[in-house]
Each structure stands twice: as structure tokens, then as C-alpha cells.
Amino acid sequence: MPPVLEPRPGGFADRFSQTFGPENPVRVFVVALLAGYALLVTAMVFLGFSLIYLLLPLGGLEGDDENLSQWLADNRSPAQEDLSWIGSTLAGGLVIPVVIGIGLVACLVMRRWLLAAFIVFVVALESGTYRVTSWIVERQRPDVQRLEGLPVDASYPSGHTAATIALYGGILLLIASRFRNAAVRVFTVVVGVALPLFVGWARMYRGMHHVTDVIAGLLMGLGAVTILVFAARASRAASERRDGETIGREELA
């Protein structure tokens, strides 16, 4: 098990598991996931309304937000459009399910049930948060020629950017935690930073999001990963407690 998913004795995840299911790792995982989902949706909706109605109207920030999108649209080239298509597709509805499927099969073959749950639910949490948030917080996409046909009033937040952080960033976090080799960790950090920036640029270049939508997507993706790490730790704590008590009863018998 990657160390990042191991609970700290007496830590918040350990105490959470004792409260909601000291010997039931599945219940603890589900409760942590649902509570985290509610918190993340609330935070993203609050951030969206604050951004649109409080922050952007100050000092002409809304105009700057729109001007950057216009500048990208005015300086498009065929090569960059192709590159942006790659970045957008990496976090789109075709590639993401394939990556999840490969990761899920690998985890099931190795009988790593918690890792399988992490990969599946980190994306489910991100996607569910995006759906609700974009439905509540309506924001028009940049007023430029868009290279994709999606709902115009679903600019906030960038779901592709969030999915990149949640899935690829989550997997890279597990790899960095599992291996102590410095080169591996440096590689995962570089890729973990570069990939969401690339996807975020691609979404902006294609006229689908403002830069503030991309930043919000980054935060949402980080939130999803944080919640899944916590849920996995709490579930692991309950599992260890259950197995430890089971061993104790067998020894007494």
C-alpha cells in the first residue's frame, strides 16, 4: 500500500474511522466520500459566486479575464490547434474512461481493492462536483470562436483540468509515495505540474474556459484528491483495527 494512504495513529482519519465505523472500512469510506463531496460542492459553488459577483468586477479583472481568451483566439495556428486538441482529449470523455479501466484492471489483478476504489471514486467525485457546480453557477464561456460544441453557459469550472488533477495527479501521487527513488519522484512532480497546465492551456486556447475557470478546476481537482486520500486513510484505519481485533480473538481461542 502506498504510504500516502496509510493512516497516522491518532490522526484525524483514524479518529474519523472510530466515530463512523471502527470495524467497517466500507462504511467509513462511503461516509468520508459523501461528506467530502458535500464539502467540495459547497466550496466550489461559494468560490464560483464569489468569483463572478465579487472578485471579477473589481479593478477590471473581468475584462482582463476575457482579453486573455481573446488574445489566444486571435493568435491561433493550425499546429497549436492540433496541440490543443491533444491536451483537451487527454482529459476528455474518451481517454479518461480508458485510463480508469486500465488502472482498475491492474489493481484488481494485484488484488489492491483500496487502490481500485481510489482510482474510480476520485474521478467520480470530481465529475459529480463539476456537474452540480456548473449547473448552479452559470457562467458564459469566453466570447470567442470556440473549437468545440459544448453548452455555452457551463464555463465554470474547467472540468477537464479538474479531471487531469484528479486522475493523473492522483495516480502520480500514489507512484511518488510508493517509490523512494529521487528520479522517480522528480519525474512525477514534473509531469504532475506540466500535465494540468497543458490541459488548462488547451481548454483556454480552444475558447472553452477563462483562465479563472482553469484555476478553479485546479483547485477542484486538488480537493478531490485530498478527499480520496482522507477516505482511503480512514478506511484503512478501520480495516487495520478490524483485522487486529480478529487476530486477537483467534489467539485467545
| Domains along the sequence of the chain with CATH | 3-252 (1.20.144)
pLDDT tens sequence across 55-95: 998 878 889 999 999 999 999 999 999 999 999 999 988 89
Average pLDDT over residues 183-187: 93
Instruction: Please report which confidence band the pLDDT of residue 27 belongs to, taking 50, 70 and 90 as the band edges.
Output: very high
Average pLDDT over residues 164-185: 93
Instruction: Please report which confidence band the pLDDT of residue 54 belongs to, taking 50, 70 and 90 as the band edges.
Output: very high
Average pLDDT over residues 38-44: 98
* C-alpha grid cell, residue 1: 500500500
* C-alpha grid cell, residue 71: 488574445
C-beta atoms surrounding 113 within 10 Å: 14
The mean of the pLDDT values for the chain is: 92
Which residues partner with 154 through β-bridges?
139
The answer, yes or no, to whether residue 231 has pLDDT greater than 90, is yes
Q: Quick one: which of 83, 80, 223 has its CA closest to 163?
A: 223
Cβ within 8 Å of residue 61, ≥6 positions away = 55
pLDDT at 118: 95
Cβ within 8 Å of residue 179, ≥6 positions away = 185
Q: Give the relative orientation of helices 12-20 and 211-252 as an angle to the nearest 10 degrees.
A: 60
b/e string for 119-135 if b means 16 or more Cβ within 10 A? bbbbbbbbbebbebbbe
Q: Where are the alpha helices (DSSP H) in the chain?
A: 12-20, 25-50, 61-74, 78-90, 95-109, 113-136, 159-163, 170-178, 182-205, 211-252
pLDDT at 130: 97
- Residue 68: burial class (beta carbons within 10 Å; 0-12, 13-18, 19+): middle
Query: 196 with 139: CB under 8 angstroms?
Result: no
pLDDT at 248: 39
pLDDT at 93: 85
- Please state the length of the chain: 253
| Cα 197 to Cα 49, 104, 125, 156, distances in angstroms | 24, 26, 21, 17
pLDDT tens sequence across 94-141: 899 999 999 999 999 989 999 999 999 999 999 999 999 999 999 999
C-beta atoms surrounding 253 within 10 Å: 5
Instruction: Give the three-class secondary structure for 139.
Output: strand
b/e string for 13-36 if b means 16 or more Cβ within 10 A? bbebbeebbbbbbeebbbbbbeeb
